[in-house]
Structure 1
Amino acid sequence: MTARAVPRSPGRARVYRGVRRAALGTLTAAVVTMPFVAAWRHETTQHTVSARIPAAGPEAYPWTSDDDREAHAWAPPADPAHRSAPVVLAYHDIDPERTSAYTLTPAQLDAQLSALQAAGYRALSTEEFTRYLTTGRSPAPRSVYLTFDDGTRGLWTYADRILARHRMRAASYLISGRVGTHRPYYLSWSEIGRMARTGRWDFQDHTHLSHSRAAVDAAGHRGSVLANRLWKKDERRLETESEYRARVGHDLDRSLRAFARHELPRPRLFAYPFSGTEADGDRAGRDTTTLERLLRERFDSTLTNASAGRLPAGPRAAAAGQVERLEVLRTTTRSAFLEQLGEWTSRTPGEVPEPLRHGGQWRFSGRAPGGRLAALTGEGLDQGTYVSGALLPMATANWSTYRVTARVDRLLGQDSSASIEVGHGSPDPLFLTVSKTGLRVTERPGGAARRVTARRRLRPSTGRTVTLRVTPKAVRITVDGTTLVVRTTRRPDRARTDGGLSLAVRNERADTDWPRFTSLRVSP
């Protein structure tokens, strides 16, 4: 028997049609409203304001008055007429949970700001800092410029009230395309607006959406999308220079438009993603020249934690358009923070008159035993034939006019020598090397390979007294009381020639004593 369909009654058909119409209506409404719901959620996220956590008083932290007195004692004696260059400090997130090496707890930030206050440092605004780069004049005897990369919510929730308690200012470097996203990690635009209205914060640039890494060659090596031409996998080639320029320029311009759209002042400074210029080797895709040109077209200067040369705030950094920052990490201890701050605080030649008495002021390359100054003053090396040490490289980076007088002995034949470098860290350093029978001047103009530019025969002697008088225009060299060489600076531009000094000793024979510096005086 063939089965036949059972006819629906008129009532059941009407009910079925009604249910179907209702379902279709609901679906249609969902489809129509979905974009509006998504937009509402996006807008809400963009403008959410998180609760701020009150800053605890100093009694809540273990680093209190005794340590502040220690900071006073640490502070190097200042020349009343000298105003140090600002030290730029690089922070990231602030959160009670130690989420990464870049996250400081509120207690750590509070303790560090307390130490800065105790040592007499004032926190500058971006306007004051950029004015310093232009004029070379700091508004305070000692100052810092506090920068926070990425624009994280912890700045509003925790850092703002700590800044308020210490009456300090700071700058947040925003990834503008991520504002209001990945909540609650990034700041919202409403939080940024409230921070701006406090007067404690200003906002600078950290790209729009170029704070990421991608493939930069066929092997799949990854690099900063800002600093590298990217590998186009489908076409098996690198971006062209024009494609790279267009992509990066578009990202930077989108960021500037985001600032304008949210009524923030146009940013004057730019911080490189990943805290540096992404010096990831000599990959074919790196295009730093084009990137520097794009940044110079839009910003007064850039900030990095890894400059190619020593570029603390000063004339050389301003000319290079790039300032090096001191990065502060979760693992940065109290003693390390104070020590690094002291190393970076600029000093005049008169503030380091007898450097051989202060081993902690020297930084060594090579295999100095334990990094001790004794390697230059007589102990030498257990292994190797050469050792060099630089005097406070960051604190002396902007010296331009000074005099160095040194006494060297144990110059035993052509197998041993001692050297003094002036303009250390600059593109145009000068090296004076003395031996038992002569002197040699070596230069490296514009960062080129070192080459000998002067030689002099000297009366044989195992000891020498050497004086170098350094000015922006020339270096005058005197040995044993007689002026023998005057080297005119090829580029009489302070921004290129500034720099401090280093010492070196060489001994090719294991059976003889090492040459040694017995005295060293530095004066204005």
Structure 2
Amino acid sequence: MNRSGPGRVLLGLLALTLVCVPFYGAWRWNDFRGAVTAQEEPGPRGAAPAGGPPPERRSANTAPVVLAYHDIGRDSRSRFTVTPEALDAQLAALASAGYRTLDSEEFIAYLRGGPAPSPRSVFLTFDDGTHGLWVHADRVLAKHRMRAAAFLITRSVGSHRPYYLSWEEIGRMARSGRWDFENHTWDLHRRAAVDGSGRASSALASRLWLPRERRQETVREYRRRVEGDLDRSVADFVRHGLPRPRLFAYPFSESQERGSATPTNRSLREALAERFVASLTNSSDRPLPAGRRAAAAGEVQRVEVTAETSARELLAAVGRWTSVTPTECPDPLTQPRWWRRNDRSGTDGLGALTGTGPYPAATGYAAASYRPAGTADWSGYTVDARIGGLRESRNNIGLLVRDGSLAPLTVALSYSYVRLLEHRDGRWHEVGRRKLTNSVEHRVGVTVEDGRTVVVVDGGIRIERATRVTGGDGTGGVAVSVRNGDPAGSWPRFESLTVRPSAEAAAAPER
């Protein structure tokens, strides 16, 4: 039978389809495999590595600690690449110590004034969006039933494969319930020229050089460029079906605490504050753990994890960054491991401050801060100290309160005087002075409340100072220092130091 022309065309198309479909399917399969890398299962669950001293008991209001990772992988020379085995051991150690991980929603709720999620919690973050998060980290998280947030440079997604994640991998990670995705710019995680000599700096935090016009960007041009990048990045999230990001991580872990009064930094902080609940950094001029101080600064500082970080070291770092209350620290001098020397002596220990030595030299200065990260949100406390070894015009001690705040105060105590000094505009200013009865020993009590500081020496000499800053800008713990100017004489010493909630704080109802 003679087939018509249209029939022959239809049969030809059908034959062509039968021939092409397998090849098309194979091509699409190869394309899919390129977009979704095979995952690697972690090793079997083993005993958690020893974590050092047993964890301290924590109050119900303990703030979460934020951890910062970058890539997860093997055979890398980068100190920012942690092996899958190290990540496995670190998460096992955290789980064994009773820590749980937060999702972004829980962390943001806390930053906005909500209660602490639990006495022991960490927020795991991973910068840059590298493929190691899908290949290795995702399976390790699943093994330990933990969660994390990945901060994406959205222009890099799907590029330089397989270094960066693909949108297909990100979609699978989001659907697993183990991952949240937050912002790390669209294309500002890079250095660029900032002057005619070619000197490079952060493309996010700096005004760039315009070579055709032989000038630097104006502040208005800078802000327009940065806002355009951030908005484009946010649009990428929405376009790929992800929730709008509410957290931002600075490229290169920059911090706007430095030089914060410049118009450029002010513009950047405003642009970030308009789009995100908080910005995260690994570097700051003062500790900014999650809490009141960080909220006031608009930044949260993270504990960075590198290839050199062992599970034991990670637990120790989390301990240092975990918030404590004055009630939990009644006798700080009996806890030498929680003090950090900050006198550039390169030594540890409290002997130079408590009279047992060693001392930096026959004369000089020694100083230490007590748990500067763990006490960052302290207010409503009283510190009492007994001082000995004072000599006329030869030595003195310093008792600093509101350590790390924007307005720290130092009580400088000598043989015959007490002075109150306030730090502002980059230097110390005397704001109070009283004559004392000459003595080699004195007792001093300092009460810190949100709006004032009261100093009482030897039970009767009093100095009161209204606080210039309040709220999170004025919170902070305790630091001590001693000075000796007599080569033939002895150093002064702290014979005792105790901390307790102030009467006002003790009477306040618990939140």
Q: Provide, for residues 56-79 of structure 1, a one-character-per-residue CA deviation record: whole Å limited to 9, x for no partner.
A: 1134xxxx3462xx45x4311224
Q: Aligned to 1:188, which of 166, 169, 181?
A: 166
Choose 45-54 or 460-469, whichever is displaced more.
Answer: 45-54
Q: Which amino acid aligns with 1:450?
A: W
Q: Does 1:106 align with 2:84?
A: yes
After TM superposition, give the deviation of residue 264 of structure 1 in Å.
0.5
Q: Is it true that 1:442 corresponds to 2:429 in the alignment? A: no
SS of the equivalent of 1:228 reads: coil
CA apart distance, 1:286: 8.3
1:97, distance to aligned residue in structure 2 (A): 2.2
Q: 1:132 to 1:474 in 2, by over 3 A?
A: same
Q: Could you give the per-residue CA deviations for residues 163-184 of structure 1, whole angstroms, max 9, x where no partner exists?
A: 1111111000000000000000
Alignment partner, residue 255 of structure 1:
233
* TM-score where L is the length of structure 1: 0.86
> Partner of 2:330 in structure 1?
353
1:401 and 2:390 matched: no
Q: Distance in 2 between matches of 1:267 and 1:57?
A: 34
1:519 aligns with 2:496: yes
In structure 1, what is the Cα distance between the partners aligned to 2:496 and 2:346? 20
The residue correspondences of 1:166-315 to structure 2 (distance < 5 A) are 166-277=144-255, 287-315=264-292
- Taking the aligned partners of 1:478 and 1:90, their CA distance within structure 2 comes to 43
SS in 2 for 1:454: strand
CA distance in structure 1 between the aligned counterparts of 2:267 and 2:322, rounded to whole angstroms = 32
In the aligned structure 1, how far is the partner of 2:222 from the partner of 2:229?
11
Give the secondary-structure state (helix, strand or coil) at the position aligned to 2:74: coil
For residue 412 of structure 2, what is the amino acid of its counterpart? T
Deviation of the 1:161 alpha carbon? 1.2
Residue 444 of structure 1 deviates from its aligned partner by 2.2
Match of 1:508 in 2: 485
Residue of structure 1 aligned with 2:58, choices 78, 88, 107: 78
* Residue 449 (structure 2) aligns with: 471
User: In the alignment, what sits opposite 1:15?
Assistant: none
Give the secondary-structure state (helix, strand or coil) at the position aligned to 2:146.
Answer: coil
Residue 283 of structure 1, CA deviation = 13
Query: CA 1:348/1:278 → structure 2, altered by over 3 Å: closer, same or farther?
Result: closer
Q: Deviations over 1:319-363 (max 9, x none)?
A: 211101110000112332122111101111122221112221111
Structure-2 separation of matches of 1:217 and 1:484: 54
Question: What is the CA deviation profile of residues 352-402 of structure 1, one whole-angstrom value per residue up to 9, with x for unaligned ones?
Answer: 221112221111122446222111112232165222110010011011111
Counterpart selection for 2:44 from 32, 51, 57: 57
* Corresponding residue for residue 458 of structure 1: 436
From 342, 351, 366, the counterpart of 2:343: 366
Change (3 A) 1:283 1:299: closer
Does residue 316 of structure 2 align to residue 331 of structure 1? Answer: no
Task: Judge conservation of contact 1:366–1:387 (CA < 8 Å) in 2.
Answer: yes
> Which 10-residue stretch deviates more, 450-459 or 482-491?
482-491
Given that 1:347 and 1:395 are in contact with CA atoms closer than 8 Å, whether structure 2 keeps it comes out as: yes
Shift of 1:448: 5.0
> Mean alpha-carbon deviation: is it higher for 232-241 or for 195-204?
232-241
Kept in 2: contact 1:315–1:495 (CA 8 A): yes
Does the 8 A contact of 2:341 with 2:347 survive in 1? no
Percent identity, please.
46
CA distance in 2, matches of 1:126, 1:283: 27
Normalising by structure 2, we get a TM-score of 0.88
Per-residue CA deviations over 1:276-333 (Å, capped at 9, x if unaligned) read 2389x97999821111111111111100011232211001111211101110000112
* Structure 2 unaligned blocks of 5 or more: 1-26, 502-511
| Whole-Å separation in 1 of the counterparts to 2:452 and 2:392 | 30
- Asked which structure has the greater CA Rg, the reply is 1
Q: Distance in 2 between matches of 1:46 and 1:297?
A: 39
Per-residue CA deviations over 1:240-289 (Å, capped at 9, x if unaligned) read 1111111111111110110010010000010000122389x979998211
Aligned residue pairs: how many?
A: 472
Q: Supply the distance in 1 between the matched residues of 2:302 and 2:278 (Cα, whole angstroms).
A: 13
Is the alpha carbon distance of 1:364 and 1:127 closer, same or farther for their aligned partners in structure 2, counting shifts above 3 Å? same
**Do the aligned partners of residues 283 and 319 (structure 1) sit closer, same or farther apart at CA in structure 2, a change above 3 Å counting?**
closer
Q: Which amino acid aligns with 1:502?
A: A
AA aligned opposite 2:423: R
Shift of 1:46: 11
1:296–1:455 distance in 2 versus 1, CA, 3 Å:
same
- Offset from partner CA, 1:3-60 (integer Å, 9 cap, x none): xxxxxxxxxxxxxxxxxxxxxxxxxxxxxxxxxxxxx99x95897111111121134x
Q: Secondary structure at the match of 1:267?
A: coil
Please say if residues 270 and 301 of structure 1, whose CA atoms lie closer than 8 Å, have aligned partners that are also in contact. Answer: yes
Amino acid of the structure 1 residue aligned with 2:55: A
Whether the 8 Å CA contact 1:149–1:174 is kept in 2: the answer is: yes
Task: Identify the match of residue 426 of structure 1 among 395, 402, 405.
Answer: 405
Match of 1:9 in 2: none
Q: Quick one: distance in 2 between partners of 1:415 and 1:129? A: 51
Instruction: Report the more deviating stretch, 410-419 or 375-384.
Output: 375-384
Q: Residue by residue, what CA displacement relative to the aligned partner does 1:119-176 show, whole Å, maximum 9, x if unpaired?
A: 1111111111010001141111111110000001111111111111111110000000
Separation of aligned partners in 2, 1:141 and 1:361: 19
2:200 alignment partner AA: R
Counterpart pick for 2:368 among 364, 389, 392:
389
Alpha-carbon distance in 1 for matches of 2:317, 2:83: 20
Give the distance between the partners of 1:293 and 1:169, measured in 2 at CA. Answer: 30
CA distance in 2, matches of 1:346, 1:110: 25
Q: Which of 136, 145, 164 is 1:158 aligned to?
A: 136
Deviations 1:410-458 (A, max 9, x none): 110122100111100000111111100010001125x553211100000
Partner of 1:11: none
Shift in Å at residue 218 of structure 1?
A: 2.4
Paired with 2:247 and 2:35, the residues of 1 have a C-alpha distance of: 27
- Paired residues of 2:66 and 2:301 also in contact (CA < 8 A): yes
SS in 2 for 1:450: strand
Superposed CA deviations along residues 181-232 of structure 1, whole A, max 9, x for unmatched, are: 0000100001000000011100000000111001112232211100000112
Distance in 1, matches of 2:205 and 2:33, equals 29
Q: Which amino acid is the alignment partner of residue 323 of structure 1?
A: V
Would the aligned equivalents of 1:238 and 1:285 in 2 still touch at CA under 8 Å? no
